[in-house]
Structure 1
Amino acid sequence: MELKEVVLLMCVLAVSANSILNKEATDNIAAVETVNSTSIISTVDSVSTEPTVTLDNTTSNQSPSMSVVSKQLENKLYNFIVARKFDEAVENTISLYGAGGCNIIERVIERLFDEGQSIVFDYSYKVSISRAAYIVSRCFPAVIRIHESLVFAKLINKRDGYALTYSNRVESDGDRRALGDHNTKTRMGIEWSLVAHSSGDRLHYKMRPLRMAMFLKLGNSTDEDGDHTAYISHDDSTNRHLWTIQPVRHNGELLFYIINREFDKLLKFGQSTEHDGYRIAYGHSTKDFNPDKFSWYIKVM
């Protein structure tokens, strides 16, 4: 291990011995190879377990290896997040950052990405609205900072390579259809602001195109395929205007599902081109987690 990392972890231990390392870990020091116990994680996105490091078989005057300490610190933060203990997660994040542990925070975020945990966005938001917002700008990737007022994004569907935009044509009720544009280089019309909407400890987004004070929603009715047509509207007061973003790793790429809160449907584009070469956006008839068909790139501007 590099000297820098050794010094980092020693500092973390000194600064946050009480809040980071639990009593069981400090009372039962084990060899680095021993990984026996299982920590419980949240079932918000999926039911799973994550191995945690246990330490034993060494004398009381010995210290665990730095790699074990690093993993234990990582597990501590991870477990707070997936259990939705955000107050503890924020305090833990502050302690880690204060000791120079940005790399540990980054590893936890990557772990949540790898597991497809949408809670990574909740975590980013909770740290942002705390007294530790500066940590988000320094340790968090831009893609989970999309709730920030000056962070904008293009939403590009993986299967089609089309960017989310909207029609210039106004419907009879004042709404505009949400469309897919094959021109993903256009500066205006395909850039979106994702406005955080927190209800309790659950985070959703309202999605607003930069040039319009309107918000993405799904229509109430379904077509013959069972899909809901997507629109932008001036109203933003219903669950049809709220969206969850869920990460997915696929063939080495970080992608995202965009899921409507009201209907629990995945955002997609139709396969036929209409409206002057554009594709119509829909909420898919079933919740089919197929990344080749229904995942999106979030390109932060």
Structure 2
Amino acid sequence: MELKGVVLLMYVLAASANSIVKEATDNIAAVETVNSTSVVSTVGSARTEATVTLDNATSNQSPSTSVVSKQRENKLYNLIVARKFNEAVENTICLYGAGGCNIIERVIERLFDEGQSIVFDYSYKVSNVGARYIARSCFPAAIRIHESLVFAKVINKRDGYALTYSRRMDSDGDRRILGDRNTETRMDIIWRFVPYWLGDRLCFKMRPVRMAMFLKLGNTRDEDDDHTAYISDDHATNSHLWTIQPVKHNGELLFYIINREYDELLKFGQATEHDGYRIGYGHSTRDFNPNKFSWYIDVI
């Protein structure tokens, strides 16, 4: 893309960001006190037990630099998985000020390796207290998608098709979600993730930057028991809310996109339409197979 085209695209994206609906409540649920060696946290619908054991230095010598670094890493990790975000953010700011960006990065990698969606909650909280400079220095771009000027292409792992939408409206005024094999950067396949803090965790509403319509799953199931995916003007239901869960697979950072209402994974069907597009659905079962149902979030 020529320089002039890139500048024009980013100008349009910035203008689009100003029109995006934002809504976030910031009520953090109380969490139970946890001890320093064992943390039990709930992430999505799964319960994860995270146990950290520190190597104790001998009583007659100071701990080595590597031991101190690991202790600091474990402390931040434990605060995050316990959902003690105020303390986690304060600790993050202190680490960054002391040159500890590498410690923050290691914690994020651990959360990725464990497939913990809480990494998005943590990133949102860090940015939300005015420490966005830390997120931009130490966090991967894919977990900063809550920021108003961050836009991304969403491309499925299995087929390499980009998330887009039909040009035609149905009788309800909705547009069907499609997969486009052309992943070249352009407005039709660029998405904005609008953050919503609900209860004690982050959800997203996803909208194309070209229009104020939001990704959802339809109300009815097809013959395969799947829900068809659409974008619609109305976005007041749980079927418009999505959680994102990271997965590391063969060295790649991928993501599951999960509908809050139906607890279904976003996917493309295998059949192509006459014009070469694939149809978007919510998969009928929770099959966490990264080869089939994971996505790249490609920040532009």
TM-score (norm: length of structure 1): 0.85
**What is the one-letter code of the residue matched to 1:153?**
A
Q: 1:43: Cα distance to partner?
A: 2.9
Residue 139 (structure 1) shift: 1.3
Q: Indicate conservation of the 8 Å contact 1:170/1:176, yes or no.
A: yes
* Other-structure match for 2:49: 48
- The letter for the 2-side match of 1:106 is E
CA distance in 1, matches of 2:157, 2:253: 11
Give 1:161's aligned residue: 160
Amino acid at match of 1:265: E
Instruction: Name the counterpart of 1:271.
Output: 270
Letter in 2 for 1:85: K
Equivalent in the alignment of 2:17: none
Equivalent-residue separation in structure 2 for 1:65 and 1:176 (angstroms) = 59
1:153, 1:77 → 2: CA distance?
A: 28
Q: Which amino acid aligns with 2:266?
A: L
1:292 and 2:296 matched: no
Kept in 1, the 8 Å contact 2:79–2:85? The answer is yes
Inter-partner Cα distance in structure 1 for 2:242 and 2:229: 12
- In structure 1, stretches of 5+ residues that fail to align are 1-23, 25-36
Q: Which amino acid aligns with 2:186?
A: R
Structure 2: gaps spanning 5 or more residues: 1-34
Structure 1, residues 126-147: CA drift from partner, whole Å, max 9, x if none?
A: 0000032221111111110001
Aligned in 2, Cα 1:56/1:70: closer, same or farther, shift over 3 Å?
closer
Structure 2 CA distance for aligned equivalents of residues 131 and 190 of structure 1 = 30
Measure, in 1, the Cα distance between the counterparts of 2:160 and 2:261. 26
| Structure 1 residue 113 displacement after superposition | 0.5
Q: Percent identity?
A: 76
**Correspondence for 2:234:** 235
Compute the displacement of 1:237 (Å).
Answer: 0.7
Secondary structure of the corresponding residue to residue 288 of structure 1: coil
Matches within 5 A, 1:96-245: 96-245=95-244
Q: Which has the higher contact order (CA 8 A, sep 6+)?
A: 2
Alpha-carbon distance in structure 1 between the residues aligned to 2:58 and 2:68: 16
Distance 1:203 1:238 in 2: 16
**Aligned pair in 2 of structure 1 residues 94, 186: CA closer, same or farther (>3 Å)?**
closer
Determine the C-alpha separation between the residues in 2 that align with 1:240 and 1:162. 23
In the alignment, is the contact (CA less than 8 A) between 2:270 and 2:278 conserved in 1? yes
Q: Which amino acid aligns with 1:298?
A: I
> Is 1:93 equivalent to 2:92 in the alignment?
yes
Compute the displacement of 1:38 (Å).
Answer: 4.3
Larger Rg: 1
Cα distance in 2 between the residues matched to 1:124 and 1:47: 19
CA RMSD of aligned residues (A): 1.4
TM-score relative to the length of structure 2 = 0.85
1: CA distance between counterparts of 2:69 and 2:281? 44
